[in-house]
Structure 1
Amino acid sequence: MYRKIIGSILIGALAVIWSGFYFNSDFGIFQSETSDDDIDGRTSILEVSAQEAGDRPVRTFDLTAQETEWEIDQEKTVDAWTYNGSVPGEALRVKEGDFVRVHLKNELNVPVTIHWHGMILPNRMDGVPGLTQDAVQPGESFTYEFIANDAGTYWYHSHQHSSEQVDKGLYGSLIIEEKQTEKQNDFDQDKVFILDEWTTDQAQNQGMGGMMGAVSGDAEADTKQAYDTFTINGKSGQAIESLVMTEGQTARMRFVNAGYQQHQLVFPKGSMEVIANDGEEVDGSKGSSNVLEIAPGERIDIAFTKPDSGSVVIGENPDVENAEDLQIPVVSREDSDDTRDNDLAAISGQSVAKGTSYGSENLIFEEPPEPDVTYNMDLSMGMNMGEGMTFQINQKVFPDTPPIQVEEGDIVKVNIQNSGRMNHPMHLHGHRFQVMSKNGNQYDEPIVKDLIHVKPGEEYEIYFKANNKGEWLFHCHDNNHADQGMVTIVDYKDVYSPFKIGGDHQNQP
């Protein structure tokens, strides 16, 4: 129901290949032994970057992965997989500097994990099965612990077979509030909106989306073909909860794209300003737009000021099929008539605020540095031995993609080029990178992110510091593309992972 047919075929084949197989042993990423002892002078990832609570406040949460019949609207119900019985899962809010402890219990009949998307944390807490832990088996539990060091908007989701598990609802928000409350007081409300797509039509043809895109030139064709319903916070259309605000009030709206399709949200003119991107505050001196584009896996925070006393609507670009599913009515009181059926302005000819539209306030590098490591990453499409379409990094599919090998302290430059026909939102775990240029043109105001949306024909130059020892994924966050091969690893040379892809734990990262 939730996965493309091609992806199903390919993953079945890979599962056979992966069973009992260790990835890239030539590079020392995975080992054929599970001892935590040093191997050839290298250290297990379980022994690096440990964090303890000390005298910090401890915030404890319990999350249970379970099957739930979830009502998207009055006419559409899906068999969802959830954390704590809802889509999205429980919203986790903590203060900057808190020690976070999350107990995961698995009541599903398949293994699961939790990845803390965008968080800088110890590698062993990253939630990637077969790389940083074993997947949590049915009936078993695992505890995640880390310090909430950086204020911002984050989210959590399963990284076990995530093309299916995230698709079925295993995600939620993680908000780290600033210690100092001055900026919080700038807003009358602080709300999270998680965007997603679902398949509710059993007859929906999911098999040819990627090929259609390659032929038609529509870089979103595969996801458009695969999904027929949009949701905000697990609800669609008339079931979406209204935002209640009076004229002149300002809300912080934290948008998270948990789906695999980019979304373009249209706001009333003059009402919206981008304030943060991937947990990093932006310099808004350039002004903003009334159209916001958010890529799969991306988080963008905006300040929305209600422009008048009547009802207004924030909604999907009306040129997109099923746009009526994704509308947020903004009303003056609970019993107000909302305007979710209003016609939204077409966005053609308008400027669009994207993840790279505004520079970051706090940079990693003031100037482009001299790199210690340079990695050229070519994103492309291919076919695999008659099994179906693949999405490749440097003409290889995971687990055969060449890793980015680093030593602690290295400055790493990655040149990312999309030579294929589909969009690829590339997400780096455990680090933030600085986007220096696009298509050879340097940014006057560089952008700090952990996800870059690379469209066909685009090239980006990014830099990061290798300052968080471990084994970290770098992958496309259209998880269907990741499922079909578009994954590599940032490999710190002096550490190794004792975990195994496949095997008894059925680890599928």
Structure 2
Amino acid sequence: MKNKIFISLLSLGIFLIGAWFVIQVGGSIGSKSSTKVLTEKKGTSIMDLEGDSKEGKQVKTFNITASSKQWNLNDETIVNAWTYNGTVPGEEIRVTEGDYVRVHLKNDLNVPVTIHWHGVVLPNKMDGVPGVTQDAVLPGEQFTYEFSADNPGTFWYHSHQHSSKQVDKGLYGALIVEEKEKQYQNDQTFIIDEWAVNQQKQNIMNMGSMMSGGMSGDGEADTKAMYDTLSINGKSGNQIDQINMKKGEKGRLRFINAGYQTHYVNFPDQSMKIVAVDGEDIINSSPPSTSLMEIAPGERIDVEFTKTNKTPQAVTLLSYNESTSPVSIPVKEDSVASKKDITQNSSINKSKAINSTTYKSEELLFTDLPKSDVQYTMELNMGMNMGEGMVFQINNDIFPNTAPIQVTEGDIVKVTLKNTGMLNHPMHLHGHRFQVVAKNGEPLENPVVKDLLNVKPGQTYEIYFKANNAGEWLFHCHDNNHADRGMVTILDYKNVYSPFKIGGDMKNKP
């Protein structure tokens, strides 16, 4: 037994040292190769697939410029951020169900960028993935995205060009599609994130805790040590804006996790209930017994929040890394009360948290599971590659060499996600919604419809979806550090192809 523990610790130590080295040198998969073609050129180019029609719809136009800026996280901390329209997060895009959205992106950075519309079901050529659905937007160049916002819900946008770095530096914002008849007058968005303000110190000083953290099975030994500052809407400490609410008032709080850590949000007792996950309404008729909510990287969770008394309260973003301080959103009737007067609960018991798979979706994709036409098992793990160093694998391969999920339009697809590694993997599918039907071999009592599923070490999930949106679509880990090191594959429609290439003169890095 002791030998097995020693070997496990040694292997983990080697892996983490490799991870630390890769982070310091800033490497990424595919950076040494020039060009990679994803699919054979047969059938129809994704550029010739029909786009969304704007006929009879109200057109909402937005201009977004990517640029660098010195950004104040709080009174004491300034970071070198990359921004959309000069702020972190970027400008919130808020439209109404049925609107036609047109976004002009201009790149004033000295590196290529794109915009991916996370969770939005749209035409493939508007998905914003360089080398797959478009060429990256080079410095000084522009690109226009157009799609119909047909599904109400909470979505977000971010760069998909070298996103492990670009999202980390602040290239993200919220996309809110409101229902035609608004349910809440008080409707606010909170993008949560973590920053590596003292990254080098954290990596070196926490190597021992990373090893013990990995053995404890929390699934985030790497990101725990990499980041040291939490933020809400790009701010921390006293710069976080308050929520103005009176006792008994209800509001919709939309939470988006733009970071690479699983986060925990703590609410005052009996003040919240989840109403939507990943843009899908859920059935939740009563407040939960716990006030703690878990949200994985890339997930969106909407909460109905009720201010339960007249005294100042707080919604608190917690960290289970002892070196990272929690941050809070003050909830007050006015701006008179000081922060020390705010009642907050900063304790954390992860086992008690509710999450995005706790409740059943209001509208399922399948009421009775059909027979699947395509089955794909996705084993998620990590390893060492002589050419690339530390990597994150799907079925022992790294992107772009991972086997694609090949489908024909109309197929029912069953994917089994199996995490045999030691770290969490929030797996995100572009351009589709999937139904989570089973966990660890047992059917779920409350199936849920999502576009991202956090698969923790030792867990196995079964998901179903219909191949009803032709194109070449990414399916990847949304801890973008893991995706950057290989944990990506493609949902490949057999009768279409992408004319774009990874790498090359356009420097496409999806």
TM interval, short-chain normalised: over 0.9
Which residue is 2:385 aligned to? 384
Which residue is 1:321 aligned to? 322
Shift of 1:216: 4.9
Shift of 1:223: 0.6
Partner SS, residue 224 of structure 2: helix
CA distance in structure 1 between the partners assigned to 2:393 and 2:371 by the alignment: 28
CA distance in structure 2 between the partners assigned to 1:156 and 1:277 by the alignment: 16
Partner SS, residue 103 of structure 1: strand
CA distance in structure 2 between the partners assigned to 1:444 and 1:13 by the alignment: 39
Which residue is 2:283 aligned to? 283
Amino acid of the structure 1 residue aligned with 2:22? I
Which residue is 1:153 aligned to? 154
CA distance in structure 2 between the partners assigned to 1:245 and 1:277 by the alignment: 24
Shift of 1:78: 0.4
Shift of 1:293: 0.2
Partner SS, residue 176 of structure 1: strand
| Structure-to-structure mapping, 1:17-166, within 5 angstroms | 17=33, 19-23=34-38, 25=39, 28=40, 31=41, 39=42, 42-166=43-167
Relative to structure 1, the CA distance from residue 399 to residue 212 in structure 2 (aligned partners, 3 Å threshold; closer, same or farther) is: farther
On the 8 A contact 2:198/2:228 being kept in 1, the answer is yes
2:367 matches 1:373: no
On the 8 A contact 2:376/2:405 being kept in 1, the answer is yes
Shift of 1:13: 6.2
Shift of 1:75: 0.6
Shift of 1:445: 2.2
On the 8 A contact 1:112/1:160 being kept in 2, the answer is yes
CA distance in structure 2 between the partners assigned to 1:472 and 1:203 by the alignment: 35
Shift of 1:54: 1.1
Which segment is superposed worse, 192-201 or 338-347?
338-347
Deviation string 1:372-402 (CA, Å, 9 cap, x unpaired) is 0000010011001164321110010101111
Relative to structure 1, the CA distance from residue 213 to residue 320 in structure 2 (aligned partners, 3 Å threshold; closer, same or farther) is: closer
CA distance in structure 2 between the partners assigned to 1:307 and 1:323 by the alignment: 29
Amino acid of the structure 1 residue aligned with 2:275? I
Shift of 1:342: 5.2
Shift of 1:220: 1.0
Which segment is superposed worse, 482-491 or 440-449?
440-449
Partner SS, residue 68 of structure 2: strand
CA distance in structure 2 between the partners assigned to 1:314 and 1:54 by the alignment: 43
Shift of 1:10: 7.4
Shift of 1:341: 7.0
2:201 matches 1:204: yes
Which segment is superposed worse, 215-224 or 374-383?
215-224
CA distance in structure 2 between the partners assigned to 1:351 and 1:482 by the alignment: 29
Structural RMSD (CA): 1.9
On the 8 A contact 1:210/1:389 being kept in 2, the answer is no
Amino acid of the structure 2 residue aligned with 1:248? G
Shift of 1:340: 7.8
Relative to structure 1, the CA distance from residue 5 to residue 236 in structure 2 (aligned partners, 3 Å threshold; closer, same or farther) is: farther
CA distance in structure 1 between the partners assigned to 2:300 and 2:341 by the alignment: 24
Deviation string 1:344-380 (CA, Å, 9 cap, x unpaired) is 2524387311010000000000022210000001001
On the 8 A contact 1:425/1:452 being kept in 2, the answer is yes
Which residue is 2:247 aligned to? 247
Shift of 1:484: 0.6
Shift of 1:285: 3.2
Which residue is 1:190 aligned to? 187
CA distance in structure 1 between the partners assigned to 2:50 and 2:67 by the alignment: 31
Where structure 2 has 5 or more consecutive residues not aligned to the other structure, the ranges are 1-18
Which residue is 1:34 aligned to? none
Where structure 1 has 5 or more consecutive residues not aligned to the other structure, the ranges are 32-38
Deviation string 1:300-352 (CA, Å, 9 cap, x unpaired) is 00000001000111113365435534211111102222348755252438731
Which residue is 1:11 aligned to? 27
TM-score, with structure 2 as normaliser: 0.92
CA distance in structure 1 between the partners assigned to 2:100 and 2:28 by the alignment: 39
Which residue is 1:453 aligned to? 454
Amino acid of the structure 1 residue aligned with 2:402? T
On the 8 A contact 1:433/1:462 being kept in 2, the answer is yes
On the 8 A contact 1:10/1:387 being kept in 2, the answer is no
Which segment is superposed worse, 214-223 or 195-204?
214-223
Which residue is 1:238 aligned to? 238
Percent identity of equivalent pairs? 55
Shift of 1:243: 1.1
Which segment is superposed worse, 345-354 or 474-483?
345-354
Shift of 1:152: 0.2
Partner SS, residue 316 of structure 2: strand
CA distance in structure 1 between the partners assigned to 2:501 and 2:48 by the alignment: 17
On the 8 A contact 2:28/2:485 being kept in 1, the answer is no
TM-score, with structure 1 as normaliser: 0.92
CA distance in structure 2 between the partners assigned to 1:382 and 1:247 by the alignment: 53
Which residue is 2:8 aligned to? none
